[in-house]
Chain A
Amino acid sequence: AQSVSQHNHHVILSEAASLELGCNYSYGGTVNLFWYVQYPGQHLQLLLKYFSGDPLVKGIKGFEAEFIKSKFSFNLRKPSVQWSDTAEYFCAVNADNYGQNFVFGPGTRLSVLP
C-alpha cells in the first residue's frame, strides 16, 4: 500500500527563519502530490499541488515545493516564516489505480515564535 512519511513531528522556528519540511512517499507510478495546511481549529486547506511538468511548484502564502522523482520526495519550503504560519502541515499523495483516495502523512506541527 502507498504510504507517506514526514520527517519531522514538530518544528520550532523563529520568525524570518527559513523552513523546509520533508515528505517522502512510497509508490512507483504516476502520483499527484499535495501539501495541505491546518491552522488551529480549522479545516485542511490546499497550499500547493503537483500533477506534472515543472517539478518546482509555487503555492499560496509564499510556499513552494520541489518534486524529486528519483528520491520519491516532495519537500515544502518557505524562505522566511511568519508567526501566522503556525499550523499543522500535511503532505498527501493521490496515485492512479491505487484506491482513488488521498493518503496523508502524519503531519508536521510548525510553531513560529514571534
Chain B
Amino acid sequence: DSGVTQTPKHLITATGQRVTLRCSPRSGDLSVYWYQQSLDQGLQFLIQYYNGEERAKGNILERFSAQQFPDLHSELNLSSLELGDSALYFCASSDKQGARRTEAFFGQGTRLTVV
C-alpha cells in the first residue's frame, strides 16, 4: 500500500458527460501529480500541484482541469468526455516541490470507461 488513495476505482460513463476523480496523497506529501495511462499513449503526465498551487502542466486537454484543496487532496475533472478519454488515471504524490531527491508514490488508479 503506497498510502495514496484514489476514488473511485472504476467509472463507466457516457460520452459528453463530466466526471470527477479524487486523490488523497500520502500523509505529509505536498505534491500531487496526475497521469493518464492508455494503451497507445503510455503514461502521460497531465498536471502537478504543490500545496494548492499548480506547478507544472503536461499534455492536459482543455476539457480537463484539476485542483488541490487546503487539506491537500486533489480532484481531476474531466468534461465533455469522448471515447478516447477511456484510460487509467493515476495520481501520485511526493514530499517535495522540486525534483531533488524525491520519489513519487502512486495510487491504485481510476479506470475510466467512456461508452
What is the interface of chain A, defined by CB distance below 8 A to chain B?
Answer: 30, 32, 34, 36, 42-46, 49, 51, 90, 92, 94-107
Contacts and interface: CB of A to CB of B under 8 A. Distances in A.
Q: What 6 A-B pairs are tightest by C-beta distance, nearest first?
A: A44-B106, A99-B56, A104-B43, A94-B99, A106-B42, A43-B106
A102 B42 contact: no
Contacts of A94: 99, 102, 104
B43 A101 contact: no
A49 B103 contact: yes
Contacts of B107: 43
Nearest to A98: B99
Interface in B44-61: 45, 48, 50, 55-56, 58
B1 to A, nearest CB: 10
Contacts, number: 69
Contacts of A51: 100-101
Contact of B90 (A34, A44, A97): A44
Given A30-B100, A44-B92, 11 more contacts: A34-B104, A42-B108, A44-B106, A46-B104, A46-B105, A90-B43, A94-B102, A94-B104, A95-B99, A100-B31, A100-B97
B75 to A, nearest CB: 18
A103 B102 contact: no
Given A43-B90, A106-B42, A100 B103 contact: no
A78 B107 CA distance: 26
A80 to B, nearest CB: 26
B98 interface: yes
A43 B33 CA distance: 14
